[in-house]
Amino acid sequence: MKRGIVPTLLALTAIGSLLLSACGVEETATPSAENAVDLLYTAAAMTLTSNLPVPAATPTLPATLTPWPTQNTVPPLTTNTPSYTYNVSSSTACDNSAYVSDMTIPDGTEVAAGESFTKTWAILNTGTCTWTTDYSIDFYSGNDLDGSATALTESVAPNETVYISVDMVAPSTTGDYVGYWRMHNASDADFGASVYVMITVTTAYTSTPTVTETEEPTSTPTPTVEAYP
């Protein structure tokens, strides 16, 4: 492109010089000469413009695509597993206890009205003192079900389990009954976890009539009267 522009400029320059020289000879330039000069410069400008390199078009960058928002992952629901908490004091004490299990009469056992039964618990000595036979299990609240305080029959050292039984009688009316019991020490104080008995009385109590035997009447002998002539 540069080689084509240079000769063209040289040619236009030469023509321009000749025209200027002609104008210098004559005192007054004719209008036709001035028009020729204007046309010469216009042609030169058009030639230069046509020979200039065309700038390359700037490519238009495509619009940046906005990515779709990532779907939030919902964490799976956690299922809370219920746990049984014993009613045990957190502090270390001389007398303390914890419920272990029901050995007889599980919760909700159906018992006939007026029926006698024995409730037995397994209880752990969680204290630092040994339980002696002066210790017992006593009624605490609810329905005692005709049960009474029952003393231990042997000593129980710390961290040992003892089985304690209480004789009870079901009420005479139907329904659900609950009775709470606690350990009792030699100083006449309750301590430790509460344990309970829960029964369902299903049938009403009916008393059995007592049959009384009726004695047969004793016949009175009729006296014999002897007749004398």
**Sole residue written with tokens 């039964």:** 117
pLDDT at residue 84 in the model: 36
Please report, for the chain, the start and end positions of each structural domain, with discontinuous segments joined by +: 2-51, 97-201
Average pLDDT of the segment spanning 161-167:
97
Count how many Cα atoms sit within 13 Å of the Cα of residue 122 in the half-sphere of its side chain: 9
The pLDDT assigned to 28 comes to: 45
Alpha-carbon distance of 152 to 157, in angstroms, equals 12
Whole-prediction pTM? 0.52
pLDDT value of residue 29: 45
pLDDT digits (tens, 9 = 90+) for 80-116: 433 333 444 444 699 999 999 999 999 999 999 999 9
pLDDT > 90? residue 169: yes
Write down the pLDDT at residue 124: 98
The pLDDT confidence band at residue 121, using thresholds 50, 70 and 90, is very high
Residue 65: in which H helix or E strand, if any?
Answer: none
Highest mean pLDDT among 27-36, 66-75, 170-179: 170-179
Give the pLDDT score at 108: 95
Q: What is the CATH number of domain 97-201?
A: 2.60.40.10
120 strand-pairing partners: 165
